[in-house]
Chain A
Amino acid sequence: MSSVSSLNSTLLGASSALDAFQYALSVTQNNIDNASTPDYATQTVDLQAAHFNPTVGDGGGVSDGPLLDSRDLLAESDVWQQAGLQGDASAQLSALTDVQNAVPVGTGAGIPAALNTFFSDVSAWSAAPTSGSAQQQVIADASALAQSFQTTAAAVAGASISVTQNIGDTVDQINQLTTQIAAVNGEIQDGGAGDEGLQATLYSSLETLSGLVNINVLQHPGGSVDVTLSSGAALVMGSRQYALTAGNAPPPPGSTDPQAPPDIDIQAADGSVVNGQITSGSLAGLLQVRNATIPGLIGDASQPGALNTLASTLANAVNSIVTTGFVSQGPPPVQAPSGLFTFNAGSASSAASTLAVDPNMTASQLPAIDAAGVANGVPLDIGDLANSTQAALGSVGFTTFYGNTAAQVGSQLNTAQSNQTTTAQTLAQAQSMRQTVSGVSLDAEAANVLQFQASYQAVAKMVGTLQTLTQSLIDMIPDAS
């Protein structure tokens, strides 16, 4: 092989190396540019050595290989799982705070205070059984107590409406995100494979989606993804999106209270109900409060709800005493015209919201004399209810039953608060782990810059040396003139 040919071969190799290092520097620059881009995964260049065998004319050198994506699906999946748990806890915390506020336990607030006032003034009536003002006060307190039940039931129903609205908004967000993911999938399938910009957009959407609902992700070789719920209901298949819808659940077969507030069903695109597949994310937390906690208070088609049970039990207990009492023993004896309370007995889930003083009962007709002829037997018996236990309430009294009901909400809220704190930490840890695996390290990129700069400069020097050698070789050629 001639000297000229060898120099040319070496010069070509150096030129190729300069191209490779320039390309590597541009990748590093792109990494640095996207250091703050959500869900951007660091890319690296796989530099590949060229064949080197001067005897056959292979001058060696280096060329840029394929871009390597540092994204780790295991780390992403861990982040999605923690984001789902945090979304669940945060949604429950927010919704349960509204529910707790609807069931007050403060001094002088809500049903407990109204119960205390009612029983106190019934007791006062027992000390002055024929006092018109005492009877009037009892009627007024009974009305206030009924109003308190109505107000509490309405407040819980208001919280229910708010949660239902949030469920609708969350489903809308899920559908927007799955639409975006399907669109990105389409771009990837249309030639965007390997585009880390598209991947960053895709995985950012997936992380946000995982905070709303639990997802399973299947990645295809080109980088597009299929997204399903945990048991397979499709959300995104390639470039096609499958929307979720939220609506009222029909009453279960055999329901004795078809007019009760309906639960909320989430339906997949094929119309199947997928509530059971939604196990984490904001949507799961909202469904838990909407379909379990709130019906536990104001009922649904399969249960009356604690407030309604309390209202109907109280009304029945008081009425059973009042209706056996006498306004006067006569002759002729004058019986009570009705019970003290009335409510819609035809719908177990509406007892609290319809509780009222029976319009047939007036203060002057409020009976004080019991069946045994005791002058204040009726108020004494009603007063005894304050400390009695009721079989319909699980063998506890009215106040304790309300307290237990409020405590259940408070306990759930505490659990949600604790879970939110814990999952915020575990989510940050998962994100940190992902950052370690696939995030942009400015230190590493700085080192790459130095390395590629040094290599580039060395090769440039080499090119200069080769140029000098080539010129020397050219100068050795005799002048033909």
Chain B
Amino acid sequence: MNIPSINPNFETFLSNLQQIENRMSTAEQQLSSGLRVSVASDDPDEISSILQLRAQIAGVQQTQENLSTVTPQVESGENAIQQAIQVLDTATSLATEASGSTSSASQMADEVPQVQGLLQQLVSLSQTAVSGQYIFSGDMSGQPQYTLAVGGNSVQQMFQAGAPPQVADSNGVMISIGLTAQQIFDDQVGGGPGTGNPAPDNVFAAVSGLLTALQAGNSASVQTALSNIQAASAHLNDESSFYGAAQNNLSAANNMASQTLIQLQQQLSNEQDADAAQSSLDLTQATTDEQAAMSAQAMLKPQSLFDYLG
């Protein structure tokens, strides 16, 4: 229970002393934690802004991690397409050789295993995986979209892949980071998925066509296949440019994220961190005030007229 004071002047002194000690406590807390704002009452007007800045910093840092995660996928995609182009170059050489007027049916048949190997390489490239994720499988990255059919002469589509994932930059703008194996290796007439009609630049169809022509020993068909392989190679070069652009976009997004992160951290520091010099000054001043108040109070000896009575 509160006991009413009988010395109001002493109450005033204690109240003033409490204010000085509050100032000392605040300065000490800021110096020891390095923070000007630790609880909401430290600066209610800035709390929402501070929390929002922390959330933005966490988001940008995660964006940087996401960009780091997908960059190997884009690089692997680019490499796979370049390798596929080299495979088609080999196929072009074999087709050119087989389409010559001196090439016999047996000579064509001799090239069949090599072309089968090329088709297998292309299928393998379509199954490129990074960290267990098939990068050309669109929304089904847990499994490859294409496999080599039984007999090794054709390719089998396992499923219709949906749109591949995108990654957001620090402003929330989406960056496309991949294509499906169907878009790269199994282009369809009209460009859409699942028309069932291979486009002239269809990579798998071109090599399968060459294989069929060689097995049949039909030089005219080999000539047609050669033409398709050249078109497929041009298609792969087009798709390769997509990955080049994606790499540029990722690099730009990384730079932007780094700059944004520095700005946000600086902003957060301005709003949240203590000014060590000012806090030290405040502490020194409050300590001096407290000593002065104590000394002054100690000098005020309680005296009355009774002290002078005999």
Contacts and interface: CB of A to CB of B under 8 A. Distances in A.
Interface of A: 36-39, 100-101, 103-107, 112, 115-117, 119-121, 123-124, 126-131, 173, 204, 207-208, 211, 328-329, 368-369, 372-376, 380, 383-384, 386-387, 397, 399-400, 402-404, 406-411, 413-414, 417, 421, 424-425, 427-429, 431-432, 434-435, 439, 442-443, 446-447, 449-450
B74 to A, nearest CB: 12
A261 B184 CA distance: 62
B263 interface: no
Interface in B201-216: none
A386 B41 contact: no
Nearest to A439: B6
A403 B49 CA distance: 8
Interface string B134-166: 000011111000000000000000001011111
Interface stretch (B50-58, B83-91, B109-117, B231-239): B50-58
A31 to B, nearest CB: 12
Given A410-B41, A421-B19, A424-B18, A446 B305 contact: yes
Nearest to A375: B139
B159 to A, nearest CB: 8
Given A368-B139, A431-B11, A127 B165 contact: yes
A425 B54 contact: no
B198 to A, nearest CB: 22
A460 to B, nearest CB: 18
A134 to B, nearest CB: 10
A403 B48 contact: yes
Contact of B48 (A375, A404, A434): A404
Interface string B1-36: 111111011011001001100000000000000000
Given A103-B40, A431-B8, A123 B62 contact: yes
A403 B51 contact: yes
Given A39-B4, A375-B138, A427-B11, A120 B61 contact: yes
Contacts of B52: 397, 399-400, 403
Contacts of A112: 51, 54-55
Nearest to B143: A130
B21 to A, nearest CB: 12
A328 B140 contact: yes
B66 interface: yes
B54 A107 contact: yes
A410 B39 CA distance: 8
Contact of A129 (B8, B9, B42, B139): B139
B55 A406 contact: no
B66 A123 contact: yes
B47 interface: yes
A429 B12 CA distance: 8
B309 interface: yes
A449 B308 CA distance: 13
Contact of A446 (B43, B47, B49, B309): B309
B292 to A, nearest CB: 19
Contacts of B69: 124, 127-128
B2 A403 contact: no
B162 A380 contact: no
A393 B15 CA distance: 41
A130 B54 CA distance: 28
Contacts of B160: 329
B168 interface: yes
Contacts of B8: 428-429, 431-432, 434-435
Nearest to B134: A130
Contacts of A116: 54-55, 58-59
Contacts of A409: 40-41
A36 B4 CA distance: 11
A379 to B, nearest CB: 9
A410 B40 contact: yes
A123 B61 CA distance: 10
A115 B51 CA distance: 11
Contacts of A425: 12, 15
Nearest to B268: A107
Given A329-B140, A375-B164, 7 more contacts: A123-B59, A211-B2, A368-B139, A404-B47, A428-B15, A435-B8, A442-B304
A368 B142 CA distance: 13
B254 to A, nearest CB: 13
A447 B306 CA distance: 9
Contacts of A207: 4
A215 to B, nearest CB: 14
Contact of A105 (B51, B163, B166, B174): B51
Nearest to B167: A127
B165 A126 contact: yes
Given A38-B4, A208-B1, A406-B47, A100 B62 contact: no
A296 to B, nearest CB: 14
B133 interface: yes
A400 B51 contact: yes
Q: Which of B19, B56, B139 has the most chain A CB atoms closer than 10 A to its own CB?
A: B139
Nearest to A129: B165
A130 B133 CA distance: 8
A446 B49 CA distance: 64
Contacts of B63: 123
B240 to A, nearest CB: 22
A417 B40 CA distance: 13
Given A373-B162, A404-B48, A208 B2 contact: yes
A235 B70 CA distance: 75
A107 B54 CA distance: 8
B107 interface: no
B2 A407 contact: no
21 contacts: A100-B41, A106-B38, A116-B54, A117-B58, A124-B66, A173-B1, A374-B162, A374-B163, A380-B168, A399-B51, A404-B48, A407-B48, A410-B43, A428-B15, A429-B12, A431-B4, A431-B8, A432-B8, A442-B305, A443-B305, A446-B304
